[in-house]
Amino acid sequence: MPDILISENISGAAVDELCARFEVLRLPELWKDPAGLLTQVAKTRAMIVRNQTGVTREVLQAGTRLIVVARAGVGVDNIDVGHASAAGIVVTYTPDQNSISAAEFTMGMMLALVRKIPVAVADTGRGGWNRHQFVGMELYGKALGIIGAGKIGFLTAKRAQAFGMKILAYDPFLGNDNFLLRELNAELLDLNELLARADVVSCHVPGTPQTSGLLNRQRFAHMKPTAFLVNTSRGEIIVESDLVDALKSGKIAGAALDVRASEPPNVQELERMPNVILTPHIAAFTNEAQDRVVQAVCDDVARVLEGKAARYPATKFGTPRGAPAKIAK
């Protein structure tokens, strides 16, 4: 039986090293097969996933030999961490390893959106030279509203400061005495006031029941008609039908989305809007970030299988269930 199951397309030198030490079953399309996932998880002691595999209560219950689930990414919203904790299954993740890439990508989306770069590129590629159709907005002197001032939000705000932007922040878990907010000279506001004052709103929150539908018709009504929205965090925080209405009615000026409520999405109105930029959940997809992410999850899986503590646990409990696995190779 395999020691480790990899249910998505995760590869690299660190995975090769893991394969040299343990029995690893690599099934990159398994996440699409719920029944197959239940069958395979029953045979393994460890799982490595990204964001597409639903590690539900049912999956965890089927994994009677499981002692660790590793998420190659910053969020664990596709894993039932509560049930894993109760069952003594360690959940690990990579909280910081892709933060720089995500922050850089967010700035790229922001610039592309406010300067209308994608539509200008497309028009010029068709033989146009319509300079006056693509007058954009400077970031200098504008207010950036950061929703979620964690690591990626902080790094994005630091980069925005280099463009001369003023930082506004909404984060219910932080207070005015937070040293990171002080370093940014950020103004901590409630969400409605942030939306009313920001020229660009950038989202950096996890997908939770509390953040689902966070930005909806009522929230968009608070935004300036000249304001732009960027989301590189989780798609479900935006009610997409309400965003379509806000864009069509001119309540906001444009949006750039790297994540969607359903991935991959069905082609809808957002895909046809000239003031919308859509990318396929690639904010963290740089060679450097993926090397760091994969190395971290592989290291943690090996540590737990050998009876050591994970370096990046999302679960908090004492001794995990099961004894250390023997190295198979």
Identify whether residues 58 and 127 lie together within a single domain: no
Whether 315 maps to a domain, the answer reads no
Residue in 71, 204, 219, 281 annotated catalytic:
281
Same domain? For 92 and 108 the reply is no
Whether 164 and 268 map to the same domain: the answer is yes
Q: Are residues 50 and 164 in the same domain?
A: no
Q: Is 263 a residue of the active site? A: yes
83 is a catalytic site residue: no
Which one from 183, 263, 271, 306 is the annotated catalytic residue?
263
Inside any domain, residue 321: no
For residues 224 and 292, membership in a common domain is answered with no
- Of these residues, 45, 197, 219, 234, which one is catalytic? 234
pLDDT at 323: 46
Active site residue 204: no
**pLDDT score, position 317:** 64
Please report the pLDDT score of residue 91 as a whole number.
96
Total domain count, the chain: 2
Give residue 328's pLDDT.
Answer: 45
Domain residues for 60?
Answer: 4-97+287-305
Specify if 124 maps to a domain. yes
Q: Are residues 142 and 237 in the same domain?
A: yes
Backbone angles phi, psi at 239, to 5 degrees: -80, 105
Residues 120 and 61 in one domain: no
pTM, two decimals, is: 0.88
**CATH code where residue 131 lies:** 3.40.50.720
Q: Are residues 77 and 35 in the same domain?
A: yes
Is 205 inside any structural domain?
yes
| Tens of each residue's pLDDT in the chain, 329 residues | 899 999 999 999 999 999 999 999 999 999 999 999 999 999 999 999 998 999 999 999 999 999 999 999 888 989 999 999 999 999 999 998 999 999 999 999 999 999 999 999 999 999 999 999 999 999 999 999 999 999 999 999 999 999 999 999 999 999 988 998 999 999 999 999 999 999 999 999 998 999 999 999 999 999 999 999 999 999 999 999 999 999 999 999 999 999 999 989 988 899 999 999 999 999 999 999 999 999 999 999 999 999 999 999 998 764 566 645 444 45
105 and 187, same domain (yes or no): yes
